[in-house]
Amino acid sequence: MTARIVLLVTSPRLPAGLLTAAAWDTLRAHPVYTAAESPQAAALRASGVPVTVIDPNPETLLATLGITPSPTGAPTFMGVPITPISAAVPNFTGAPSAPSSTAVTPTPSSAGATSAPASAGATSAPSSAGATSAPSSAGATSAPSSAGATSAPASAGTDPAPTSAGAVPAPTAAGAADPLPPSPNISEISDDDSAVERGALADRREMAKLGEAAGRGGVAGRGEGVGLGEVVERGGVAGRGEGGGLGEVAGRGEVVGLGELAERGEFAGRGEVAGRGDVAEQRVVVWLAGPDGDESFARSLGLRLAREPGLAELELMYGSWDPPGARLLDAVAVMDQLVSPGGDPWKRQQNHQTLAQYLLEEAYEAYDTIEADDTDALREELGDVLLQILLHSRLAEEHPEDERWSIDDVAGGFVDKMIRRNPHVFAGEAVADIEEITANWERIKKAEKSRQSALDGIALSQPALALSAKILSRTRRAGLEVPLPTGDDVGSRLLRLVAESPDAEHLLRQAALAYADTVRARENVRPPE
């Protein structure tokens, strides 16, 4: 893998530029692109990080890595088509070719001359008039390629590599254009020093440049590498005496990787470029996602890379993320837009009195979901209760200045109250049990409210049974012994029943609902969902 795309996602609810250390390191080290201007992009530029706005198109971003579709539709890297090794090397199996004794018909080296078989003690045919070549058996040296011309010396301390039995291509005339056609494909050619790679034989024109010949199976010139699968010595082409495995081209700093020279690298089998055994440095770009996360672009980029996984890696990085409750900020913003000029006319016409019934209804609906043990429905109904809280708070911002308050005042009061009434959590106060925690709560609450009676603060508009239970509960907690009414009227009897069962409201509700089910069964009607 030679390329990586980092998709950087940040929270739009946090201040621009408030990012993790890892995100800052990545942004400073690599080019950064984005689809549009944003507060985050402006903050990065202000900190010295260049940010470039480009079209949010996967191909455009890949082009910044030097990866573009070739005219044939195949991807390219730095302008060079990326070809799988299985396509570039016929019959590739990952192992060197087995030895073979198949004879090769030599290619003419010049007009009217052919190469003679090279066996022990034999001489090759002259490559041009008046020039002869030395025997190609072990210990022989190369003959001049033309009258008065000598071939370039091989690497120090090495002899020219012997050729396959029965085949020695003759060198061409010095300085002459090479008229030779490409060598024929041979299914298998063997000898320890054969230039073969399972069905690919080197073209003579690829085997030496600038007069440098490889020693013992190496063919390379200054800066001249070998295309994948063209020339192999024992399964690889070595430069300056360094050999390699199948499909591997090595040279001291001069190596061909997909047609391009790789710095201090080896072109390893199966298309990997390595520098002296290490993977070449990745090209990395960063995509700075917009406030909405650029979900559509991320999906299309992922699908594009899924079709051709070899193009680049895709990494998701969170530069910042929302703290718990961050969506409450969105809820406040939505309500503000609804009530502000140009928003919802119905909400703008409401006041606390007209909304009171809806607050009660939404609370009852939430209660019903609890009774039904439907937690999904409870989540939805609590959202409706929250709507009432947000709407009342936003309308309160329109009050006269000395009566005005906002959702921040509501939240601030809640936070202060919880911290103040729970000293065992926030102040380290020791408590023995739940009863002591409750007693502390009531003591602190009484001090806050400066109430004269234990019954002060009870919601008198709540249903009668719930109101009765609340009054009886406050009386008991205050330690007061107040006799219950003894009359035979319905109200007195009901109050005594509530005193016997503080949960009378719930029990009566359950009894009423069970009776309703019986009625529906008699009518053969299913209960409501």
Query: What structural domains does the chain harbor?
Result: 3-68+282-320 (3.40.1010.10), 458-528 (no CATH)
**In the structure, what pLDDT confidence band is assigned to residue 359 with cuts at 50, 70 and 90?**
very high
Give 316's strand partners. 7
The pLDDT of residue 281: 67
Give the 3-state secondary structure of residue 403. helix
Determine the Cα–Cα distance for residues 202 and 219; give it in Å rounded to an integer. 10
Determine the Cα–Cα distance for residues 229 and 309; give it in Å rounded to an integer. 23
Using CB atoms within 10 Å of the CB of residue 288, give its burial: 0 to 12 exposed, 13 to 18 middle, 19+ buried.
Answer: buried
Of residues 374 and 212, more confidently modeled: 374
Q: What does pLDDT average to over the chain?
A: 71
Residue 212 DSSP one-character state: B
The pLDDT of residue 280: 52
Of residues 437 and 455, more confidently modeled: 437
Of residues 514 and 122, more confidently modeled: 514
Give 313's strand partners. 4
Q: Which amino acid is at 281?
A: E
Tell me: the pLDDT tens digits for 67-108?
876 555 555 555 555 544 444 444 444 433 333 443 434 444
**In the structure, what pLDDT confidence band is assigned to residue 212 with cuts at 50, 70 and 90?**
very low
Q: Under 8 Å CB-to-CB from 231, ≥6 apart: which residues?
A: 195, 197, 200, 202, 206, 207, 219, 237
Using CB atoms within 10 Å of the CB of residue 10, give its burial: 0 to 12 exposed, 13 to 18 middle, 19+ buried.
Answer: buried
Is residue 339's pLDDT more than 50?
A: yes
The pLDDT of residue 201: 36
In this structure, are residues 243 and 251 in contact, taking their beta carbons and an 8 Å threshold? Answer: no
The pLDDT of residue 45: 97
The two three-digit tokens of residue 165, written as one number: 């039995």
Is residue 285's pLDDT more than 90?
A: yes
Determine the Cα–Cα distance for residues 203 and 280; give it in Å rounded to an integer. 29
Our separate counts of H helices and E strands in the chain read: 15, 15
pLDDT above 70 coverage of the chain, percent: 59
Is residue 176's pLDDT more than 90?
A: no
In this structure, are residues 316 and 63 in contact, taking their beta carbons and an 8 Å threshold? Answer: no
In this structure, are residues 206 and 227 in contact, taking their beta carbons and an 8 Å threshold? Answer: yes
The pLDDT of residue 449: 80
Place of tokens 């913003």: 333
Using CB atoms within 10 Å of the CB of residue 163, give its burial: 0 to 12 exposed, 13 to 18 middle, 19+ buried.
Answer: buried
